[in-house]
Amino acid sequence: MPGFEFFGEKEKKEVQDVLDSSVLMRYGFDGMRNGHWKAKELEAEISSRMGSKYTQLLSSGTAALTVALASAGIGAGDEVIMPTFTFVASFESILAIGAVPILVDVDDTLTLDPKAVEKAIGKNTKVIMSVHMCGSMANLDALKELCDRHGLLLLEDACQAIGGSYKGKALGNYGDLGCFSFDYVKTITCGEGGAVITNNEKYHKNADHYSDHGHNHVGNDRGAETHPFLGYNYRISELNAAVGLAQIRRLDEFLDIQERNYTILRNALEAVGGVTFRRVPEGGVENYSFLSFFLPTKEKAVRTQNALSTAGVDGCFYWFDNNWHYYRNWDHLTNNISLGKLPAEVLNQMPDYSQSNFSKSDQWISRNISCLIKLGWSESEVHERAEKMVETLKTILD
């Protein structure tokens, strides 16, 4: 991770097709395209790889989450349960449609704790958003059981976990809707882009229309298309889709490299007393984009992260103090800081997060370090990195 490490002739060829046709927009201009429909091709390839009936490409992973929620009819006053550990896009997408983000604790999977989720379900709850952070997943069976029992939707935010699976199903294709991000630092990239996958025809049709100003995409005359409901512009361009088309065809290649590098590092760290690893639910397969492990205490985790940085081991993240991925520094959410007025439903229903107790999340995240797994490392470089990590950890833990 990420796919930009391996840009090459395949990506250039797909982009050149678009430049040669001069049609950069995914819709219309049929006669000028020379048969090139990169967004449509990429949607078909994603559906094939993920085993889903439908794929809708969008301009970003954030757009994918927003469109997924809107396509299922989620709106003002509806509550969406989400984890305390995720990227800010999770709650941004919820707020963008006037819905209310309900934060709950994570467990040793670094994802939603099903017990915490069950306690948070209320009369306005409509969705459980399971975020597959750092390449792995929650106990999706437990979350699906809650959804079935309470009549809720299961939305998988698989933006950091493309290529992972749970009980034989691709992540993103287990719930009602799944979302991917193809931004510049994801396992495969479009530069900017995202996708919603689903097996529900209605949700797909809604996503298709909603993401293009409500266009119904019937017939071959774009100007004559009707608009059955309000929509907005979340379209991807043909240039971005062209890059993604080359990259989706390389996904398994990338995953194999990530697994090799991950396994070398993990095997080395397993020999260090005091180091434990995130739990992957039974039946789950990570996409190996991060190696996440726990230290015995918060203090030792802080010391370890600093020592790894000093030793030249880059790409190791201590999320507990991170501005973008952990609730403790989401001051703009806690204080409802917005350029315009937030909807009354949000202001009235939003919990007072300045008073919330997420100590169960803290006990896991404060002891966690997640190390990015790069594609560009040679095998010898990975072994060298493993040796440095082991030496550094032993100075902290011995």
Residues 212 and 300 in one domain: no
The closest alpha carbon to 67, from 186, 160, 251, 204, belongs to 204
Mean pLDDT (the chain) is 97
Neighbours of 119 (CB within 10 A): 11
Q: Are residues 260 and 242 in the same domain?
A: no
> In terms of residue numbers, what domain contains 18?
3-250
pLDDT of 398 reads: 84
Model confidence at 384: pLDDT above 80: yes
The predicted pLDDT at position 192 comes to 97
User: Could you say which of 229, 250, 271 is where a domain stops?
Assistant: 250
Q: Are residues 306 and 293 in the same domain?
A: yes
DSSP one-letter code for 237: B
- Tell me: do 126 and 221 sit in the same domain: yes
Residue 262 banded pLDDT, cuts 50, 70, 90: very high
Residues 106 and 81 in one domain: yes
Residue of higher predicted confidence among 384 and 2: 384
Q: Both 228 and 327 in a single domain?
A: no
Residue 1 has pLDDT above 80, yes or no: no
φ/ψ of residue 47, rounded to 5? -60, -45
* Mean pLDDT of the 333-355 span: 96
**Does 330 lie in the same domain as 243?**
no
Residue 155: closest CA among 57, 244, 80: 80
Q: What CATH number corresponds to the domain at position 375? A: 3.90.1150.10
Q: Which residues contact 224 (CB under 8 A, 6 or more apart)?
A: none
Q: Where are the alpha helices (DSSP H) in the chain?
A: 9-21, 38-50, 61-71, 89-96, 114-120, 140-150, 201-210, 238-248, 251-269, 298-310, 331-334, 344-349, 359-365, 379-397
**pLDDT tens, position by position, 268-302:** 999 999 999 999 999 999 999 999 999 999 999 99
pLDDT for the residue 160: 97
Query: CA-based diameter of the chain, in Å?
Result: 72
Task: Describe the strand order of the beta sheet including 79-83 as a list of residue ranges.
Answer: 54-58, 194-198, 177-181, 153-157, 125-131, 79-83, 100-104
197 with 233, same domain: the answer is yes
- Phi first, then psi, for residue 287 (nearest 5°) are -95, 5
CA dihedral 24, 26, 29, 32 (to 10 degrees): 50
Q: What does the pLDDT read at residue 2?
A: 77
Among 211, 230, 250, which residue terminates a domain?
250
Query: Do 243 and 191 touch, CB atoms closer than 8 A?
Result: yes
pLDDT greater than 80 at residue 56? yes
Q: Which residue is associated with the tokens 């993103």?
A: 172
Query: If you search the block for the tokens 């991000």, which residue do you land on?
Result: 181
Q: How many domains does the chain have?
A: 2
pLDDT of residue 285: 98
Q: Give tens-digit pLDDT for 13-27.
A: 999 999 999 999 999
pLDDT digit string (tens) for 202-212? 999 999 999 99
Cα 252 from chain centre: 18
CB 375 within 8 Å of CB 3: yes
Q: Do 282 and 360 have their domain in common?
A: yes
Of 206, 230, 250, at which residue does a domain stop?
250
Percent of the chain with pLDDT over 90: 98
- The verdict on 277 and 240 lying in the same domain is no
Give the whole-angstrom CA distance, residue 167 versus residue 162. Answer: 15
Q: State the CB neighbour count (10 A cutoff) for residue 7.
A: 13
Q: Is the pLDDT of residue 107 over 90?
A: yes
Residue 333: its pLDDT value, please? 97
Amino acid symbol at 152? L
Cβ neighbour number for residue 10 with a 10 Å cutoff: 15
**What pLDDT band is residue 3 in, cutting at 50, 70 and 90?**
confident
- Taking only Cα atoms into account, the Rg of the chain, rounded to an integer number of angstroms, comes to 21
Same domain, 278 and 172: no
Q: Which residues are catalytic?
A: 186
**Same domain as 197, residue 125:** yes
**CATH code at position 19:** 3.40.640.10
Question: Using one digit for the tens of pLDDT, what is the confidence trace for 132-173?
Answer: 999 999 999 999 999 999 999 999 999 999 999 999 999 999
Task: State the residue for tokens 């919603």.
Answer: 196
